[in-house]
Amino acid sequence: STIDSNTGALSASQEAPTGGVTDAADTWKNQAGGVCVVSATEIVGSEDAAIPEPRHSEVVVVKPNPWRSLSYGIEALSVSVGDQVPVLKVLDPEPETSGSLKPTSWSMACTSSYDRFVFDDVISVGWLAGHPLVEIHEDGSIAIAAAESLDVVFGAMSAPDNGDRVEIVLTCTVYGRFPGSSIPPVSTSLRVELQDNVCWVRQEFEAHLTAQPDLQSATTCRTGCRRDPRCSHWHFDQGSCSFAAR
């Protein structure tokens, strides 16, 4: 770095960096730069009794080398209600190069085929229809776990009766941001397929039906059956819900 002796303006040198910052917070450690000592003399007192007093200040000057890309080594994954996938680790784009600046904050934005996805930047948790689904850790790793409570979401969806499982698809972008707003973030795409853990098949057989008077819609009838370990089939007709076991 160079300093203008007349104005005190500090500017970056065009020459290749030869040092690295170690006397700084971990955020900037090993980045190209150095600690500069800026000195000046202040004249205090009246003109007749002027006294020169030296002043100096230490300034950490950094020329960061931020990551130029972001990757988790995977572009798509699937997870069923009640399950979780192994934690996704962020990959260093230049593992052989020391001194690259890693993002310090993370966020995610997703579009959903069913309901709105919201990511809370304060606690780094993503929610689907009010249910926790994604968490990004401080080091950028991603944990995805489909809470059991999501059965309410799938229970409210129109379920096929041919054995196919209902699926919600999230098309996401993960962002890694650097300290200071002047460095643009890096990002990568991630597709998450969230699948129901129950499939329904229409069958006809003789069975003893147990009436469920509290369940007054096809949606609540289906959800109630999937939550009852004794229920293998449900029947809803003319406002009446019944369970069967086979």
Tens-digit pLDDT profile for residues 80-90: 999 999 999 99
DSSP state of 148: G
**Rounded distance between C-alpha atoms, residue 224 and residue 203, angstroms:** 18
Instruction: Yes or no: say if 234 and 246 are a contact pair by the CB < 8 Å rule.
Output: no
The predicted pLDDT at position 143 comes to 97
The predicted pLDDT at position 15 comes to 62
Query: Average pLDDT for residues 184-197, to the nearest whole number?
Result: 94
Query: Average pLDDT for residues 6-22, to the nearest whole number?
Result: 60
Task: Return the SS3 of 241.
Answer: strand
Q: Is residue 56 predicted with pLDDT exceeding 90?
A: no
**Rounded distance between C-alpha atoms, residue 66 and residue 184, angstroms:** 9
Percentage of the chain with pLDDT > 90? Answer: 41
Of 66, 58, 68, nearest in space to 1 by CA? 58
The predicted pLDDT at position 169 comes to 95
Of 109, 147, 108, nearest in space to 130 by CA? 147
Instruction: Yes or no: say if 25 and 33 are a contact pair by the CB < 8 Å rule.
Output: no
Q: Is residue 183 predicted with pLDDT exceeding 60?
A: yes
The predicted pLDDT at position 80 comes to 94
Q: What sign does the dihedral 233-238-241-242 (CA atoms) show?
A: negative
